[in-house]
Chain A
Amino acid sequence: MTSTEPGPTAAVEARQLVKRYGVVSAVDGVSFQVARGEIFGFLGANGAGKTTTLRMLCGLVAPTSGTALIDGIDIVDQPLLAKARLGYLDEEPFVHPHLTGREFLNFVADLYRMPRGAERERRMDRLLGLFELANRDDDLIGTYSHGMKQKIGLASLLIREPPVLLLDEPTNGLDPRSGRLVKDLLEELASRGTTVLLSTHILEVAQALCRRVAIIDRGHITATGTMKELRVQAGNEQASLEELFLKLTAGPESKELIERLLA
């Protein structure tokens, strides 16, 4: 395993994070760092521990042991300070079905004590326009499609422009056009200094956006680094991220499985 780069105070840092539910270890000793302005990919199969790790990093779930730091601030010791700096988007973001899109954005902005007034309205209009929700902003979220809910969830993060974004499958349920928009948006935000920790199992998204990735398998980090470093670890200089992922997570050879199934 390679632990690389980020400076003395990383924007996001997991130090030996462990989460146990009874005798089951959902996450077992996960460590990595994400530098400021970096888009960092967090890859893993279903049930590998991605979401639990993200939830520990954002303070939704208390770690059994280990430390989660946001901008050097311990999320357990100083939760309010740390939470003010981050935005977390769940795999299925919760959006209040009985509020309109605009009311929901206002609700989240108020929760984070964002000043009311023209600037907030301007941001809201921009985001609603960007996500093509401007014509549905006064409709109740309960009437939105899955993709629209995902987009209003993203907008609720971006309206307050937190310096750190923890995104769990942000392109989940989005049409190709909106998916592309999210990718462009993340690149733009990173170029302005926003740190993005992107959890996904869509390897194309990770390959396109992330300079470094960590691969988690059954609660353990199996590899961290740039594509080049991962290829060195895997001993295959030409391997794609998909091949690396399957190799590093010891995933089954699908072709072989299909042949066995159809035999």
Chain B
Amino acid sequence: MSGQGATRTILGAELLALRHRLLKRGAVRLVLLAIFIVGAAVFIGGGAFAIGATAGHFLPAVIDSVLAAGFSGLSILMLVVGFPTVIATFFVGRDLLLLTLAPVRTIEIFAARLTLAMGANLLISSILLAVVLGIGAGAGAPLTYFLLAVPLIFIQVLVITSMQTVLMSVVLKWVPARMARDVAAAVAGLTGAGLYLAWNLSLRRSFSGPSRPDLGNLTTVVQRIDWLPPAWPGHALSAIIAGRFFEAATWVLVTLILGVLLVAAAEVLYERTLQSGLGVFGSAPAIWKRRARREVRPAAGPLSSSHGGEDGHAAPAWPGGVARDRVGSPAFAIARKDWLAFRRDIRRLGRLLPALLFPIGYVFAVSRPSPGPNGFWTEVLLVGFMSMFMSTTLATPSIPSERRGFQLLRMAPLTMWQVLRAKVLLTLPPVLGLTILFSVVVAMVSGNGADRVVELGALVTWLGFGFVSISVSAGGIDPRFDALDDRRSVGLVGTLAGIAGSLGFGLLSLGAFALFVFGAETLAGSAHLGPLPSTPEIGAVMLATAIVLAAGSIAIVGLLLWLANSSLRSHETAIANT
């Protein structure tokens, strides 16, 4: 097979697989996906272009810094976020075994894998492309600028991907490939969450008082690092805008040389890695738990006991110790199993931790603790949001994450109600613990008094039960047991049911809570209801309405649990597929 032919064959097979995966989604989902992609491209790309054009037009003095910072920032982002993709593409996967056994040169495998690995990084870099084109448009750059921008960004992606391959070829001599991939994914997730928190912090500062844009810090920082290779393409482009074409050519040339050197180094090291069988053959699962080995008692003798009575209709007998020993609890067993599996699964942990940081980021950005009614109601909304977000993150994948293990639960003498209950009870403690803690802290900081703390505590407990039940149900209504990623483990129907249920439950609960608070204050004669008279009758009506709303919110939870139970009882798609 010729080099070009082999690379084309490998890429062709990947494209075919992608095509099948897409077509498997069905027409409606494909249309929705297309709309989403176009929408995101217009929104994000348009925004990035507008920012670039503004900077290019109004800040000509710092264009070099902005471009250098853009390329450097992109490189750092790709370097951190792209590692899992690079590891998965180059070093993990049984298809690599097939390729290395085939009479195909390593350089051909490398070329195909490099093209595939660059896909994710190219997607990320499209944002930079929009900014760079915007800067050019804003600064009135010549045509050369635009013609050079695309290949320079492509070379940057090539350089970063090659550098990741070089690094991983070295690291994988000591670390199993899958573990490296999962750890890298966890690091990438945490970095993303960190960036997100930093963004929220900057938002908080932006909204905290009158401020003017200050690029002094940016230029200072960039000037310190602008000699580094990631900034070179930025310098090339800014030199074109300034009309210094010789300087631009020099930057482009050194960028190209660096790219060639790194790609060559990556190819050589990758070849050695494949030859030594690292990564491909040493594909140990991502498991990091170990504890001291217990002493194993000598095993001997045949299996004990017979079962049942003569008619064979007796329930399974558990001879010996039945009277003394505690009977095993299925709910506890499921909870314990989930806990053990969770803390030993690096991938799931890596996805969970950033997700948990998000609501904290939001809350930190928006929170303005202050005494008085306004501060209290802000806190109510914040804890409501936090409870919903955490419940969705933790509880929604709890049933689909059973994957093929769901067979064991279906086989066991358990009702699906019991499974749902076990999952709800497992997820409740962390959600309640964190939201109650947060409520107490916020209420204390705002100095709203003990009664407000109790009210807030009662509300988050109520919301926690409801949101967790709804989220678990959403996963049970439309589980995707074959999904490898928890984030994709619930189908469209389940996702929509979860969103609608959570919104309905949240709104009714918060409405009921508000009516309870105002109704009680009205009955006590301390309420100020604006145009409404603060009479005991009005207070009673408010309390009655609150009860109706609360009952409605319970009905929503009950309905979703019932739907989930019905769905799980009859669910056999995943079983048939396995």
Which residues of A pack against B, CB within 8 Å?
11, 21, 36, 52, 55, 58-62, 71-72, 79-81, 83-85, 88, 90, 92, 94, 96-99, 103, 106-120, 122-123, 125-130, 134-135, 137-138, 140, 142-143, 158, 160-163, 185, 188-189, 192-194
A114: B residues at CB distance < 8 A: 318, 327-328
A99-B337 contact given A110-B330, A113-B330, A143-B284, CB 8 Å threshold: yes
A138-B321 contact given A60-B575, A111-B330, CB 8 Å threshold: no
Q: Is the CB–CB distance between B575 and A126 below 8 Å?
A: no
Cα distance A140–B305 in the bound complex, in angstroms? 29
B294: A residues at CB distance < 8 A: 137-138
A71-B313 contact given A83-B411, A193-B307, CB 8 Å threshold: yes
Q: Which 3 A-B pairs have the closest CB atoms?
A: A129-B299, A117-B325, A110-B333
Q: Is the CB–CB distance between B344 and A58 below 8 Å?
A: no
Give the residue of A72, A103, A161 whose beta carbon is less than 8 angstroms from that of B307: A161
Give the residue of A60, A94, A109, A193 whose beta carbon is less than 8 angstroms from that of B312: A193
Residue of B nearest to A135 (CB): B296
Q: Is the CB–CB distance between B340 and A115 below 8 Å?
A: no
A128: B residues at CB distance < 8 A: 296, 299
Which residues of B pack against A, CB within 8 Å?
284-285, 287, 289, 291, 293-294, 296-308, 312-313, 315-316, 318-322, 324-330, 332-334, 336-337, 340-341, 344-345, 403-405, 407-415, 570, 572, 575-576, 578
A85: B residues at CB distance < 8 A: 315-316
Residue of A nearest to B325 (CB): A117
A111-B407 contact given A84-B413, A96-B337, A96-B341, CB 8 Å threshold: no
Shortest distance between the CB of A184 and any CB in chain B (Å): 10
Interface centre among B300, B321, B332 (most CB of A within 10 A): B321
Interface centre among B297, B303, B403, B404 (most CB of A within 10 A): B303
Shortest distance between the CB of A98 and any CB in chain B (Å): 4
Interface of B, secondary structure class, is loop
Q: Is the CB–CB distance between B572 and A61 below 8 Å?
A: yes
Shortest distance between the CB of B313 and any CB in chain A (Å): 6
Give the residue of B291, B307, B324, B337 whose beta carbon is less than 8 angstroms from that of A138: B291
A111-B412 contact given A119-B318, A128-B299, CB 8 Å threshold: yes
B305: A residues at CB distance < 8 A: 161
Q: Is the CB–CB distance between A143 and B285 below 8 Å?
A: yes
A142: B residues at CB distance < 8 A: 285, 287
Give the residue of B312, B319, B404, B409 whose beta carbon is less than 8 angstroms from that of A111: B409
A94: B residues at CB distance < 8 A: 403-405, 407-408, 578
B285: A residues at CB distance < 8 A: 97, 140, 142-143
Q: Is the CB–CB distance between B572 and A110 below 8 Å?
A: no
Shortest distance between the CB of B448 and any CB in chain A (Å): 44
A111: B residues at CB distance < 8 A: 328, 330, 333-334, 408-409, 412, 414
Q: Is the CB–CB distance between B344 and A140 below 8 Å?
A: yes
Give the residue of B320, B341, B572 whose beta carbon is less than 8 angstroms from that of A62: B572
